[in-house]
Amino acid sequence: MKNIEEQLESIEEVLSIVIRKNASIENLIQSWAESQNEVLTNTLAGLKSEIDNCSSISSLASQLSEVQKGIECIPHAFKVKNYHHFDFRSKGFIISAVLLLIVTALSVAVTISSYGECSRLRENNLKFRIARQLSPTLAAQADSIYYRDPDRAELETQRLEAHELSVKEAEQNLNRRQMEAKKAQDLLRQLKRK
């Protein structure tokens, strides 16, 4: 029991201290608010007296009315005259623009051509690699011929291709003539039978 009484007494002491502190804080707040009210009241009174004493407000009103009249006199749309013509400075600009377009077009053409050539070379590379896999001795022989004399190898290749082409043409002509001869013989046989 004594313990509880002691605790109650200590709580009462703490509460009395808190109440006193709270009262002192309220007094401080009230005094601060009163001083601020006085400062604001004095400031407002000074501003009112300066506004009353200032005669420039009427001059500002007259200047404002003059500005409004000036604004009303300005037309809503202005006519802007632009004369487009070529002079010395603009001719240089146009010539340089045309030259840039031509250079761009040429660059695009060269790029397209290079792409086509690269594709063709890639295809030939693949064909040669296939030929090397199918016949390594023939590929080695072609390499040795080319590396000995590239110009002669090119001429020899062109001569062999021309010869092969003429042989194929001759074979086609022979086959066509044989077909014509066979048709003529068949026609002759049919005529003899009648």
Amino acid at 102: I
Average pLDDT over residues 99-125: 95
| Res. 107: pLDDT tops 70 | yes
Q: Which pLDDT value is given to residue 30?
A: 84
131 in Cβ contact with 139 (< 8 Å):
yes
Could you report the per-residue pLDDT of 11-53, keeping only the tens digit for each?
888 888 888 888 888 888 888 778 877 877 877 777 777 766 6
* Terminal-to-terminal C-alpha distance of the chain: 156
The encoded tokens of residue 135 equal: 């016949």
Q: What's the predicted TM-score (pTM) here?
A: 0.35
At 76 the pLDDT is: 67
* Cα 171 from Cα 179, distance rounded (Å): 12
Count of CB atoms situated within 10 Å of the CB of 143: 13
Would you say 146 and 153 are in contact if contact means Cβ atoms under 8 Å apart? yes
Structure tokens at 113: 């051509």
Per-residue model confidence (pLDDT) at position 106: 96
Give the pLDDT confidence score for residue 182 in this predicted structure: 92
pLDDT given for residue 53 in this prediction: 64
